[in-house]
Amino acid sequence: MTTQLDATTHRAGAGREKVVAAALDLFAERGVSGTSLQMIADRLGVTKAAVYYHFKAKRDIVLAVVRPALAELATVVEDAERERSQAVRTELLLVGLVDLLIRNRRLYAILEGDLAVAQILATDPLLAPLGERLVEALVGPGPDPGQVVAANLFLAGLKSVGSGGAAGIADAELRTYILDCAHRLLRRRRQPTGRPARS
């Protein structure tokens, strides 16, 4: 039997989802910086107070848009951290990260490179430690400098591709290309000896 409280909670949840969906559309059209709470209210055909009922500030809406993807990322990292084999751990991370990117291409394209988003995410207490854990799980214990550089290049490249650097490539094809590049970039190699190259 559904209680009045259950019905109210359901309506509130549905209202939040509508605000997030409208915000996502506007972010795609105008960017996060160019979208106001009033614009979101106008898109929904409600008052600004109705938006404030669900979210007190645009920052909260941005975090609501991003948090599901961050929760997925946290799950990918946690699954990898449970593996004993570094090879298996790295492969789980690569596949998990690439699949996460493919599922969220639109979100990446909207949010990546927007200074307003960067400032908002910088205040999220979950994000910084998650990024550190990701790199640690990717390179394993005692990595050489080359492995750390390769991991950071891969992660930076993933952001670039996700933010529109491969807009015309179909999902399945893009997944194959990224994983191929990642395997070549992150394969284990000897530490540089420091000897000068032959002329």
Q: How far apart are the first and last CA of the chain?
A: 82
Query: Does residue 11 register a pLDDT over 90?
Result: no
Q: What is the rounded CA–CA span in Å between residue 41 and residue 22?
A: 9
Q: Among 55, 142, 17, 151, which Cα is nearest to 97's?
A: 151
* pLDDT, tens digit, 9 for 90 and up, residues 20-32: 999 999 998 888 9
Q: For residue 190, which amino acid is it?
A: R
Residue 69 has pLDDT above 70, yes or no: yes
CB–CB of 61/20 below 8 Å?
A: yes
What is the band of 188 on the pLDDT scale with cuts at 50, 70, 90? low
- Alpha carbons 118 and 22: distance in angstroms, whole number: 21
- Would you tell me how many other CB atoms lie within 10 Å of the CB of residue 111? 25
Q: Where are the alpha helices (DSSP H) in 32-84?
A: 37-44, 48-54, 58-81
pLDDT of 126 > 70? The answer is yes
Q: Please, which pLDDT band fits residue 12 given cuts at 50, 70 and 90?
A: low
No. of H helices and E strands in the chain? Answer: 10, 0
- For residue 67, the model assigns a pLDDT of 87
Instruction: Please tell me the pTM assigned to this model.
Output: 0.76
Q: Which two structure tokens, joined as six digits, stand for 42? A: 């106008």
* 39-62 pLDDT per residue, tens: 999 999 999 999 999 999 999 999
What are the pLDDT digits (tens) for 82-107?
999 999 999 999 999 999 999 988 88
Give mean pLDDT, residues 151-174.
84
pLDDT in tens, 130-155: 888 888 899 888 888 998 899 989 98
- Tell me the backbone φ, ψ of residue 137, rounded to 5 degrees: -70, -30
